[in-house]
Structure 1
Amino acid sequence: MEEAFATEIAKSLLGKLSSFASEEFCLAWGLDADLDHLEEILSAINAVLHDAEKQQEQNDKIRLWLQKLREVLYDAEDVLDEVECETLRRKVVKTTGSTSRKVQRFFSRSNMIAFRLRMGHKIKNIIGRLARIESLKSQFNLSEQTIDSHVLHEETVMNRSFESFSGLIGRDKDKERIINLLVEPFKVGDAHPLVFSIVGMGGLGKTALAKSVHDDEIVKTNFEMKIEACVSDGFGLKQVIQKILKSATGDRCADLDEGELKKKLEAILNGRKYLLLLDDVWNEDAQKWLLLKPSLSKGAFGSKVIVTTRSQRVAEIMGTVSAYNLSILGQEHCLSLFYKCAFKERQMELYPDLVGIGKEIVAKCKQIPLAVINLGTQLYGKVDEKEWESVRDSEKWEEKGDALKTTKFPNLVVICQFLTPSLFFIQLFLTSQIKSILFADSLEGPTCKTDFEKCLSKSKHLRSLELLDDSEFEAFPEMIGTLKHLRYLSFDKNTKIKRLPKSIFKLQNLQALIVGEGLEELPRDVRYMISLRFLFLFTKQNRLPQGGIGCLECLQTLIIVLCENLEYFCEDMQGLKSLRKLFISGCNNLISLPRSMKCLTALEKLLIIGCENLDLMTIEEGKEEEIQTLSLQTVLLAGLPATLALPTQFLQGSTNSLRIFIIRNCPNIRVISECFGNLKKLQNLRIIDCPRLSKRCQKETGEDWPKIAHIPKIEIDDDDIEEETSNQGPVSSDLLQTV
């Protein structure tokens, strides 16, 4: 239901307004007072949104009120986005160092005043509209709730729904494994505190499982103090500490500042062995976690933290041991859960036909416990076959199931299918507040290109644009550079777009770019896309230019595939300060990687596959340099016949982080590097289709066995070597999913 998105949009806006408060540009442009006023009125509305969304099903006036609110919130989102866009534009222009009259005019006082007046007018307009909506809320007798009580309510509902109905059906083994980890005694060398993550998509029962573990009697006897806090609404240091203190002492300490809160938390934890449950973590900012962690380390050795999250990245940031990936529920367990929720005692025996219909309903639930519970409780006590058949044949509940997989902040999506192109474009023009356009079919026909440009021109606040199929397009229109709110652009199925228009590099807000196979060149101007975090690249260049990709300081994932002409990377890769994942595949003419690879201190996953002429030792050419501390956790090298040895310096930098190392079909690598003996965190080593290397690494008899004997899990070709002391499961054969 679209109206239900109002809460999420409001939360997002309040978070953005909070971050704006300390930004220099808000003060310089004189927007701080207007933004403070906007935050104040939005907070007042946000306080009643939870109650409004509960009542809208029974009250059409409230539903209409939420719909009007949502429209204003989308407009407010666009205005704040515009302020952000302008800030990014100024940053780009400033860093180019140009002294042209055009640039001087851009930074002139008159230009800044004009922008301030324009934005001030828009913000005041939003404030006025929100004020009118806020004044209407008194008609509905809506109760105000603080964020904490909202979170507590959600947490209580989730716990009650799973525990009272399901009794954690089908999760006994999961629970046992987690408890065994929690009650393990502290050993020298263990992380302090140990942080254990339960990861899985929404609706699997992560919270219920964690809560059941947290409250288990065996666990209780192993910890002096048990604390829990739901942090779904934010991970600010002050906010999280207040929630922890509230659970530990019953007092939220609202009158204390951040420094005083830290001292109080540290005093409470000092010397005590505790178990902390941090539920529903969304924060992917490592810095926020690192600010909290020192206070948590004041507890006694053996203290542990359970984290529940949908994000693998959260687990990577916070976890000190391997994450526990919660799987979907088995079909038989889903049936048991459904029958328990849908039938009263002994009803199953009286209504066998309903049992059969129930089985068909459960088959549609995709083995997600929350979907099973929702449908079961909807039918609880009902014995009319038509009602059960209505649920079975309805598609509405599937929307709820799919919603479990959506991102935290859903947006509007318009799918254009060109059965009759002009008709669909006309429908698009009549739709307001479009955020995302996905073209599902080919753009063909005499008017489609023109209509496509008209479509984009009508969607000034577009956030996402994706072409799913090949089309007749040979170039994006120049006006694409005006879509300054665009965050995601994908045309990977297109083979005819050979060059990108210069205007596209004005998209300073773009965060993900996925290009098509026909692209001949990615110009240096890509450096102006300063918000880019994800880049999927095909190119026909033989060298990536200096001052291009290497300048993308925010880039986190770089995937380069099937670039048959590519021989050399850019030498300035040290500029990729945030790069965490690098995947290179099918670049058969690639000869070398730059020495600056050794400066990628944030890199966690490196996968290089099918590059026949690549010699990895080029990373270490030139004078020997000081070894940098790296963050590599996973390395996969496959199909590299020209590589004769592993880059020692590169591996030495990963001594304290590398956990998984796979070498496959690299027949000319003959020796394991001496530095492998220092990789103390390495848990999994696989050597496959590397005959010379495999021979040297055979257990007990191989010349290189002493270098790797400390690794818990080793697989060499078809042999599976595992130390008796290892608790690790088998290495996953589908490691590409880690990308």
Structure 2
Amino acid sequence: MTKHMHVERTHPTLPTQKHNVRRFSIQALSYSVDDYCKALSPVARSIYLFSHFDQPLEFLSRFNLLRVLAIFNENVSCQSFPLVITKLFHLRYLQFPFHNDIPDSISKLQNLQTLICGRDANFSGYPLDRSYSLPGKIWMMKNLRYIRMKGLLFLPSPRTESLLTGMPNLEEFSILCSTSCTNEVFSGIPNLKRLIIHLPFEINEFFNRQLDMSRLTKLEAFKFYGSTFFQHPIKRIGFPTSIRRLSLTRCSDFDWVDIPSTSMMLPNLEELKLKRCRTFSHKWRLSDENKFKSLKLLLLSGANLKHWEASSNNFPNLKRLVLKGCHTLLEIPADFGDICTLESIQLHDCPPRAEDIARNIVQEQEDMGNNFLKVYIIHNNYCNF
């Protein structure tokens, strides 16, 4: 019976013969190309490289049966996309620290399902300092499921012949530049489930047009980031009703009444996160008709909100309320204690008055014998208000 994976963590304890395994993880501090070839079997199916080396990747041509190639060391980064990688026809998963435009030759990897380029596959929300372009031939890659890059991606509209099928299996795309958000592009990725969009660095005509995602009827998770220097009006974003998790950062020029009117059109919405979104008013008043029926998590971060009027009926299924850096907040609806599903209220760097109200809500529930609701007060960069 062969091992699931062979891990090399030390050097130079190289094997006298190749290991009879198909999955390798090379984690030694430094390896030469000869070392790799001695350690790896030519029938290797998966290679994970953490080691430092600054030599060409041509040695990969010996492993033409590879299905998984993951290179984590930034020192391996190349100015041009390595031709040898495009010859690994059986690749299903490719993670590579590449920081330039993706060439047309990527389309040779017709079996590729996951494409990850950049140092970090998870976008943290900080301003992006790089932008890239995907080639038009990306639309020929029908098996792609995940595209993740640490940088702003420009995706060209598909040609007429490609639009017939597009990328039907694509489920996740990050980070797409908002200028690429056209009806043609969205029609080519009809089964997308997770999407991150970022406003481009420079001010352009996108600010004045609608972002209509109604064609993405399978979309479940959506994150939108306005530019650091230029925010986007929330009213100009059209959401599909399939969304369950919605995160908006640096949206602007809206009133709090826009939030329930938008959310009521999203019957499946379970998570709503508003981060550094600037509004016209400082008061959020919810009427009896404003119900977030499916919402379980509400997060407000950096909101310029002072007064908040709401009842338990507005959030009948809320489990977590998180308030971060809401420096002007003077009140939390006292009726929130009556939300039977509410498990926790978290306040990060909020004014003392808001903290006192949160404590009172929990104390009132404890006095009635209800001990399920918890309050968490966290001070990180707290200052006096």
Alignment equivalent of 1:429, drawn from 61, 78, 99:
61
Aligned position for 1:480: 106
Q: 1:576 to 1:509 in 2, by over 3 A?
A: same
1:546 to 164, 183, 187: 183
- Check conservation: 1:416, 1:425, Cα contact below 8 A: no
Cα RMSD of the aligned pairs, angstroms, is 4.3
**SS at 2:84 equivalent:** helix
Match among 225, 240, 245 for residue 599 of structure 1: 240
Matched residue SS, 2:151: coil
2:220 is aligned to: 580
* Residues 358-413 of structure 1: CA deviation (Å, up to 9, x unaligned): xxxxxxxxxxxxxxxxxxxxxxxxxxxxxxxxxxxxxxxxxxxxxxxxxxxx9612
Secondary structure of the residue that 1:504 maps to in structure 2? helix
Instruction: Supply the AA of the counterpart residue of 1:658.
Output: L
Confirm or deny that 1:463 pairs with 2:92.
Answer: yes
Contact 1:612–1:639 (8 Å) recurs in 2: yes
Counterparts in 2 of 1:662 and 1:726: CA distance versus 1, 3 Å:
farther
Q: Does 1:727 align with 2:375?
A: no
The code of the aligned residue for 2:316 comes to: K
**d(CA) in 1 for partners of 2:377 and 2:107?**
43
* Deviation readout 1:635-693 (Å, 9 max, x if unpaired): 222211235366979x94631x21221223211x355365763321113334454455x
Q: Which residue of 1 aligns with 2:174?
A: 536
Query: In 1, Cα distance between the equivalents of 2:254 and 2:226?
Result: 14
Q: Does 1:660 align with 2:297?
A: yes
How far did 1:530 drift? 2.0
Higher-Rg member (1/2): 1
Confirm or deny: 8 A CA contact 1:443 1:449 kept in the other structure: no
User: CA separation in 1, counterparts of 2:219 and 2:103?
Assistant: 31
Which residue in the other structure is 1:413 paired with?
47
Residues 143-180 of structure 1 show CA distances to partners (whole Å, capped at 9, x for unaligned) of xxxxxxxxxxxxxxxxxxxxxxxxxxxxxxxxxxxxxx
Contact 2:144 2:170 in 1 (8 A): yes
Aligned with 1:679 (options 315, 321, 337): 315
> What is the CA distance between 1:430 and its match in structure 2?
1.4
2:338 alignment counterpart: 710
Q: Deviations over 1:68-119 (max 9, x none)?
A: xx99xxxxxxxxxxxxxxxxxxxxxxxxxxxxxxxxxxxxxxxxxxxxxxxx
Q: Deviations over 1:50-82 (max 9, x none)?
A: xxxxxxxxxxxxx99xx8xx99xxxxxxxxxxx
CA gap 1:635/1:628 in 2 versus in 1, 3 angstroms = closer
Q: Could you tell me which residue of structure 1 aligns to residue 330 of structure 2? A: 695
Write the deviation string for residues 707-737 of structure 1: whole angstroms up to 9, x where unpaired: x34234445635133122141444697xxxx
1:642 maps onto 2:287 in alignment: no
Q: CA deviation at 1:537?
A: 0.8
**Cα distance in structure 2, aligned partners of 1:485 and 1:531:** 12
- Choose which of 116, 119, 122 in structure 2 pairs with 1:490: 116
Contact 1:506 1:529 in 2 (8 A): yes
Q: CA 1:563–1:625 in structure 2 vs 1: closer, same or farther (change >3 Å)?
A: closer
Taking the aligned partners of 1:647 and 1:488, their CA distance within structure 2 comes to 44
Deviation per residue, 1:103-140 (Å, 9 max, x gap) = xxxxxxxxxxxxxxxxxxxxxxxxxxxxxxxxxxxxxx
Cα 1:643/1:532, change in 2 over 3 Å:
farther
Offset, 1:510: 0.9
In the alignment, which residue of structure 2 is the partner of 1:522?
155
Is contact 1:569–1:594 with CA below 8 Å preserved after alignment?
no
SS of aligned partner of 2:132: coil
Could you give the per-residue CA deviations for residues 215-242 of structure 1, whole angstroms, max 9, x where no partner exists? xxxxxxxxxxxxxxxxxxxxxxxxxxxx
Distance 1:475 1:598 in 2: 30
Secondary structure of the residue aligned to 2:147 is: strand
Alpha-carbon separation, structure 2, partners of 1:732 and 1:659: 20
Provide the C-alpha distance between the structure 1 equivalents of 2:58 and 2:273, rounded to a whole number of angstroms: 45
Q: How do 1:278-293 residues align onto structure 2 when only pairs under 5 Å count?
A: none
Change (3 A) 1:642 1:571: same
Partner Cα separation in structure 2 for residue 490 and residue 508 of structure 1 = 17
Give the equivalent residue in structure 2 for 1:32. none
Distance 1:612 1:673 in 2: 22
Greater strand share, structure number:
2
Q: Tell me, in whole angstroms, the C-alpha distance in 2 between the residues paired with 1:524 and 1:616.
A: 34
Query: How many equivalent pairs are there?
Result: 308
SS in 2 for 1:517: strand
Separation in 1, partners of 2:223, 2:118: 16
Contact 2:77 2:98 in 1 (8 A): no
- With 675-684 and 612-621 compared, the bigger mean Cα shift is at 612-621
Provide the C-alpha distance between the structure 2 equivalents of 1:631 and 1:438, rounded to a whole number of angstroms. Answer: 36
Aligned identity (percent) is 15
Q: Where does 1:212-251 land on structure 2 (aligned, <5 Å)?
A: none
Change (3 A) 1:654 1:612: closer
Distance 1:569 1:413 in 2: 45
Distance 1:529 1:647, change over 3 A: farther
Q: 1:726 to 1:558 in 2, by over 3 A?
A: farther
